Amino acid sequence: MLQINPSSDGHRLQIAGEMTIYHAAELREALLAHVPASGSLALDLSAVDEIDSSGVQLLLAFERSARVCGAGLHLAAPSDAVAAALCELGLGAQFAIPCQE
């Protein structure tokens, strides 16, 4: 299961469901259409119940694309699964997520 819901003003994007390898190609396609051209995009990951390395890779690539355009990306309300994965991989600081030492 994977769902992508952009807000009407284009400042917020919600991903819900599984950010796993099974949906990685589909998620990439969808995200491509939402790379912010300027300003900052809030990525709402509160409803992501499963994430694996492919999902983390997609977040990294998405952030990179935004940066290339001179825009920013920040994670709003990451779910426990997302926060745990990023912290375990030592990527908490990069996505401004508090991790327990």
Partner 1 sequence: MNLDMALQTFLGESRELLTDLEDGLLGLSGDAAADAERINAIFRAAHTIKGSAGLFGLDAVVAFTHIVESVLDRVRAGDCTIDEALRTLLLSCRDHIAELIDACAAGAPPAALLERSAALGTQLQSRLATPAVVQAAAQQIEPRAIATTTDGHWHVSVRFGSEVLRNGMDPLAMLRYLGTLGTIEHVATLTDAVPPLAELDAERCYLGYEVTLRSNADATAIADAFEFVREDSLVRVLAPDCGSDAYLSLIRELPEADDRLGAILLAAGVLSPAELDAGLTRQRQLDTTEVPGHQPLGHILVAEQGVSPAAVNAALEQQSRARGSEHRQIRIGADKLDELIDLVGELVIASAATSLRATHSRDAELIESTQALGALVELIRDSALNLRTVPIGETFSRFRRVVHDLSRELGKDIELVLNGEDTELDKSIVERLADPLTHLVRNAIDHGIEPVEARLARGKPARGTVMLNARHDSGSIVIEVQDDGNGLDAERIAAKARERGLLRADQTPSEQDIFQLIFEPGFSTANAVTNLSGRGVGMDVVKRAIEALRGTVEMSSQAGAGTCCSIRLPLTLAIIDGFLVGVGDGTYVIPLDQMVECVELGGSQASEARRNGYINLRGRVLPLLHLHEHFAADGARERRENLVVVNHAGQQAGLVVDRLIGEFQTVIKPLGRLFAAASCFSGATILGSGAVALILDIPGLLAQSSGAGERAAA
Partner 2 sequence: MAKSILIIDDSASMRQVVAMTLNNAGYDTVEACDGEDALGKLDGRKFHLMICDVNMPRLDGLGFVRAVKDNPQYKFTPIVMLTTEAGDDKKAQGQAVGARAWVVKPFQPPQLLAAVAKLALP
Contact residues for partner 2 (CB under 8 A)? 20-22
Contacted entry of partner 2, partner 1, none for residue 85, CB cut-off 5 to 8 Å set by kind: partner 1
Q: How far apart are CA 60 and CA 94, in angstroms?
A: 9
Cβ of residue 84: shortest distance to partner 2, in angstroms?
12
Tokens 């051209």 belong to which residue? 37
Within 26-55, which residues bind partner 1 (CB under 8 A)?
27-28, 31-32, 35, 52-54
Task: Please choose which of partner 2, partner 1, none residue 62 contacts, taking the beta carbon within 5 to 8 angstroms, the exact cut-off set by kind.
Answer: partner 1
Tell me how far, at minimum, the Cβ of 68 lies from partner 1, in Å: 5
Four-point Cα dihedral 47, 50, 54, 58, nearest 10: 10
* Distance in angstroms (rounded) separating the CA atoms of residues 61 and 87: 18
Query: How many whole angstroms separate alpha carbon 54 and alpha carbon 24?
Result: 6
C-beta closer to partner 2: residue 35 or 50: 50
